[in-house]
Structure 1
Amino acid sequence: MSDEEKTPAREVITDYAQAHFRYFRTADGTVYAQRNGHPVARPIRSQGTTGSHRQELMVGLYRDGCGVFNGTALKEALDLIEALALTEEVQSVHIRVAPGFDGATWLDLGRADGQSVRIHPTGWDILTPDPREVCWRRTQLTGELPLPARDTDGKGIDLLLRLTNFANAETECLALAWLIGSLGPSVPVPAPFLTGPQGAGKSTAGRMLVRIIEGMSSDLRRAPKDEENLVAAVAAGWVTALDNLSYMTPDLSDAMCCIVTGAENVKRALFTDGDVFRARYRRPMLLTGIDVGVIRPDLAERLLPLRLERPTVRRTEAELWAEYAEVLPVVLGSLLDLTVKVRAAEAETPTDLRMADFAHLCAQLDAATGFGSLAAYRRSLDDLNDDVIEGDLLAQTVLQHAESMEAGADQRMTSTEWLHNLSRLYSGEECRPLPKGWPTTGKVLSDRLKRLQPTLAARGVLIDSGRTHEGRYLEMTRQPASAPAEQQPAF
């Protein structure tokens, strides 16, 4: 055959690729390749070490006797495939957890054969999902989970709790509620903060909770130094676990709030001047540490403190993790059984808590098992409010001022007048100097009170703002002792 009669290499590659793979795009324009009949999808431009589509395509061409092609032919073929895929329908890709058809959800087991767990209203099954229902995206952080055991009769939950050092039954039921919530693709869950004395096994317990969902290869990580690295770590996995936190900067605190409840990050696309790259993320988080210092009010509403106690009997790491690996299939099976049972339970949604979805899940867990997880969750929020107040001198001064007001009374002043009165109250007769970080202007005071509004409302002090013909004002109201503190609308 003459050179003119030979089929160009790029056409051979394109024909082979379209015969063996399905190509589609996501909402952000990224084109993915999915081998026919397999649920795992890879971005065609990826050069990652977990296996790029380019490598997958080269291996397939070689093994099927099509030949070995140079980089130019592969690039031209992939360019054409990418252009064609941009006309296809949009489909989402998911890491670890995904929504399915008919109210089902999926859990990726991270296996090479693509087998996953389908959690549906009447039970759960181990299946290979239809590629058009679920597309899994995997990274180096995607560990493999064992096949969950069936007919465990709930003993996996007891095995898990026996291996951990949770301080009481309230902490245990909150940990279970978080695990169930982490199996849901659309339910924001607060971030467990494992605390306790030195030697309480906080890191070990954190690893155990995370590895139920992320596999034995997952581990805790140090907090990144900046938000960009944190977002990159979050985007590459499902559960983000940060170990041994001792201090939390305001930027890290704000980033964690966004991760728990969901946000979008936009930055300039590489090698372009006018295009951008969008990264949406909402992930379960887990934190460990003895003390992180002052907790900001907005983060406090998104935390779930889980206290541990020092074990009375110490075990070697090898012995502990060998037992954990042995019981993990039973633990996972029991967690799936409990998840099905909880999702089927009917319960009212509390309307006074910010994380309403998680509060509803706690109510469902109580209805299904008889636990007191919702009451425990409320008490944990009260404890966090106490921590916020103890670490904020402005909040303490506002509450001190509110004590001088009659129950049900309100007081209205400008923010500058409030700053003068609160500063004078703090200084007292001793004229002690104002502390570092004290508001210096009425605007700064107003902004600080906006952050403290939920914390103060939980203590019966309501802060509101408005405007009259004379100008803007701040109003403080002390609720009657018998009236429950309700969450007020934002400024």
Structure 2
Amino acid sequence: MSEDEKTPGREVITDYAQAHFRYFRTVDGTVYAQRNGHPVARPIRSQGTTGSHRQELMVGLFRDGVGVFNGTALKEALDLIEALALSQDVQATHIRVAPGSDGATWLDLGRDDGQSVRIHPTGWTIAVPDPAEVCWRRTQLTGELPLPAKDTAGQGIDALLRLTNFATPDTECLALAWLVGCLEPGVPVPAPFLTGPQGAGKSTAGRMLVRIIEGMSGDLRRAPKDEESLITAVAAGWITALDNLSHLAPDLSDLMCCIVTGAESIKRALFSDGDVYRSRYRRPLLLTGIDVGVIRPDLAERLLPLRLERPTVRRTEAELWADFTAALPVILGSLLDLTVKVRAATAPTPTDLRMADFAHLCAQFDTATGLASLPAYRASLDDLNDDVIEGDLLAQTVLHHAAGLEPGAEQRMTSSEWLDCLSRLHSGEDCRPLPKGWPTTGKVLSDRLKRLQPTFAARGVVIDWGRTSAARYIAMTRPVPEPLHQQGSLH
């Protein structure tokens, strides 16, 4: 056969690829390849040294006796495949947890054979998901989970609680409710903050909670120094765990709020002048530390304090992790059993809490188990509000002033008048100097009050803004307490 009669390499590769792989695009335009019948998808432009689509295509061509092709032919073929895939239907890819059909969700076990767990209110099963229903995206942070054990009778939950040092039963049920929430991709969950004295096993307990869902390769990380590094870590896994926090800078605090409830990051694509890269993220977040200092009120609404105590009997790391590794299949199986029971339970949704989805999950959890995670969650938020107030002199001054108002009375002033009033109240008769960080203008005061508004509301003080024909004003009110017989059962 003459050279002119040979089929070009790019055509041979393209024909082979389209016969053995399914190509599709995501909403941001990234093209993925999915081997026929297998749920794991890989971006075709991945240049990673492990598990890239380019590599699996080269290996398939070689093993099936099609041939070995040079880089130019592979590049031309992938360019054509990418262009053709851009006209295909859009499908999402997921890391670790994904929504399925008929109200089910899926948990990726990270196995080469694609076996995953389908979780439904009627039960859970192990199966390979239909690629048209679930497309898994994996990274180097995607660890392998063991096959969960069946019919555990709750033994895994007991084993987990024995291995950790949670201080109270309320803390234990909140930790379990959070784990159940991590298996539901549509539910934003607050970030557990594992705290306690030195030697309480905060890092160990944090690793165990993470590894139940992320596998034994899951670990804690130091807080990154910049926003881009944290977003990169968050996008590459499901649970992001930050260890030994001692201070939360305002930018990091705001970013954590975005991670918990969801946000989008946009940056310029590499080697391009006008194209951009979109990154959407909403992930479970876990933190450990003894104390992080002053907590901003918006983050306080998204935290879940879990206190640990020092164990009375010490064990070696080797013994502890050997027991955890052996118990992990049973722990995972018990968690899946608990998740099924919680999803099958019905309960009213609390309407007064910021994280309403998690509050509803806690209500379902209590219905399914008979425990009291929702009251414990409310109590934890009250404690966090106390922390916010104790760390903010402006909040303390506002509440001190509000204590002198009659219930039902409203006081209106401009922001500048409020600044003068609160400054004089804080300085007192002895004219104490105003502390560092005290608002210097009415606009700064107004912004601070907006941030503290939920904290004040939790303490029975309503701050609102309005306008008259003359000027804008800030109103402070102490609502009249409702009679006990009129208060809802969720309060």
Shorter-chain TM-score bucket reads over 0.9
Q: 1:97 and 1:404 mapped to 2: Cα distance?
A: 51
Letter in 1 for 2:62: Y
* Equivalence for 2:44: 44
Q: 1:483 and 1:2 mapped to 2: Cα distance?
A: 95
Deviation at 1:44, TM superposition (A): 0.2
Letter in 1 for 2:383: D
Aligned partner of residue 271 in structure 2, secondary structure: coil
Q: 1:235 and 1:48 mapped to 2: Cα distance?
A: 16
Deviation at 1:49, TM superposition (A): 3.5
Question: 1:400-411 maps to which residues of 2 (within 5 A)?
Answer: 400-411=400-411
Question: 1:414-429 maps to which residues of 2 (within 5 A)?
Answer: 414-429=414-429
Q: 2:49 and 2:125 mapped to 1: Cα distance?
A: 31
Aligned partner of residue 102 in structure 1, secondary structure: coil
Q: 1:50 and 1:475 mapped to 2: Cα distance?
A: 60
Q: 2:483 and 2:447 mapped to 1: Cα distance?
A: 27
- For the pair 1:355 / 2:347, whether they are aligned, the reply is no
- For the pair 1:473 / 2:469, whether they are aligned, the reply is no
Q: 1:67 and 1:440 mapped to 2: Cα distance?
A: 74
* Equivalence for 2:345: 345
Question: 1:153-302 maps to which residues of 2 (within 5 A)?
Answer: 153-302=153-302
Deviation at 1:482, TM superposition (A): 4.7
* Equivalence for 2:456: 456
Aligned partner of residue 325 in structure 2, secondary structure: helix
Deviation at 1:479, TM superposition (A): 2.4
Q: 2:469 and 2:408 mapped to 1: Cα distance?
A: 26
Question: 1:70-149 maps to which residues of 2 (within 5 A)?
Answer: 70-149=70-149
Q: 1:409 and 1:49 mapped to 2: Cα distance?
A: 68
Letter in 2 for 1:48: G
Q: 1:451 and 1:477 mapped to 2: Cα distance?
A: 17
Letter in 2 for 1:428: G
Letter in 2 for 1:34: Q
Q: What whole-Å deviation, never above 9, does each CA across 1:244-276 have from its counterpart, x for those lacking one?
A: 000000000000000000000011111111111
* Equivalence for 1:367: 367
Deviation at 1:64, TM superposition (A): 1.1
Letter in 1 for 2:71: G
Deviation at 1:50, TM superposition (A): 3.4
Q: Is the 8 A contact 1:181 1:361 kept in 2?
A: yes
Q: What whole-Å deviation, never above 9, does each CA across 1:150-207 have from its counterpart, x for those lacking one?
A: 0001111011000000000000000000000000011000000000000000000000
Q: 1:8 and 1:402 mapped to 2: Cα distance?
A: 81
* Equivalence for 2:440: 440
Give aligned pairs, total.
Answer: 485
Q: 1:463 and 1:116 mapped to 2: Cα distance?
A: 49
Letter in 1 for 2:171: T
Q: 2:187 and 2:458 mapped to 1: Cα distance?
A: 24
Aligned partner of residue 435 in structure 2, secondary structure: coil
Q: What whole-Å deviation, never above 9, does each CA across 1:19-72 have from its counterpart, x for those lacking one?
A: 110000000000000001100000000112331101111111111111111111
Change (3 A) 1:100 1:222: same
Q: What whole-Å deviation, never above 9, does each CA across 1:349-375 have from its counterpart, x for those lacking one?
A: 000000000000000010011000000
Q: Is the 8 A contact 1:50 1:139 kept in 2?
A: no
Q: 1:16 and 1:66 mapped to 2: Cα distance?
A: 8
Question: 1:372-391 maps to which residues of 2 (within 5 A)?
Answer: 372-391=372-391
Q: 1:49 and 1:447 mapped to 2: Cα distance?
A: 49
- For the pair 1:21 / 2:21, whether they are aligned, the reply is yes
Q: 1:483 and 1:271 mapped to 2: Cα distance?
A: 65
Aligned partner of residue 412 in structure 1, secondary structure: strand
Q: What whole-Å deviation, never above 9, does each CA across 1:192-250 have from its counterpart, x for those lacking one?
A: 00000000000000000000000001100001101111000000000000000000000
* Equivalence for 2:320: 320
Runs (4 or more) in structure 1 with deviation over 6 Å come to: none
Q: 1:430 and 1:334 mapped to 2: Cα distance?
A: 62
Deviation at 1:483, TM superposition (A): 6.7
Q: 1:217 and 1:279 mapped to 2: Cα distance?
A: 24
Q: 1:479 and 1:24 mapped to 2: Cα distance?
A: 56
Q: 1:442 and 1:2 mapped to 2: Cα distance?
A: 85
Aligned partner of residue 184 in structure 1, secondary structure: coil
Change (3 A) 1:247 1:178: same
Q: 1:483 and 1:167 mapped to 2: Cα distance?
A: 35
* Equivalence for 2:3: 3
Deviation at 1:120, TM superposition (A): 1.3
Letter in 2 for 1:405: L
Letter in 2 for 1:47: Q
Unaligned runs of 5+ in 2: none
Change (3 A) 1:53 1:483: farther
* Equivalence for 1:392: 392
Q: 1:110 and 1:58 mapped to 2: Cα distance?
A: 23
- The CA RMSD measured in Å over matched residues stands at 1.0
Aligned partner of residue 131 in structure 1, secondary structure: coil
Letter in 2 for 1:88: Q
Q: Is the 8 A contact 1:109 1:117 kept in 2?
A: yes
* Equivalence for 2:333: 333
Aligned partner of residue 146 in structure 1, secondary structure: coil
Q: What whole-Å deviation, never above 9, does each CA across 1:272-311 have from its counterpart, x for those lacking one?
A: 1111110000000000000001000000000000000000
Deviation at 1:480, TM superposition (A): 3.0
Q: 1:479 and 1:215 mapped to 2: Cα distance?
A: 50
Aligned partner of residue 102 in structure 2, secondary structure: helix
Letter in 2 for 1:227: E
* Equivalence for 1:489: none
* Equivalence for 2:310: 310
Deviation at 1:404, TM superposition (A): 1.4
Deviation at 1:131, TM superposition (A): 0.4
Between 1:271-280 and 1:48-57, the stretch displaced more is 48-57
Deviation at 1:473, TM superposition (A): 0.3
Q: 1:373 and 1:47 mapped to 2: Cα distance?
A: 46
Letter in 1 for 2:455: T
Aligned partner of residue 60 in structure 2, secondary structure: helix
Percent identity at matched positions? 83
Aligned partner of residue 349 in structure 1, secondary structure: coil
Deviation at 1:312, TM superposition (A): 0.4
Unaligned runs of 5+ in 1: 487-491
Q: Is the 8 A contact 1:152 1:334 kept in 2?
A: yes
Deviation at 1:104, TM superposition (A): 0.6
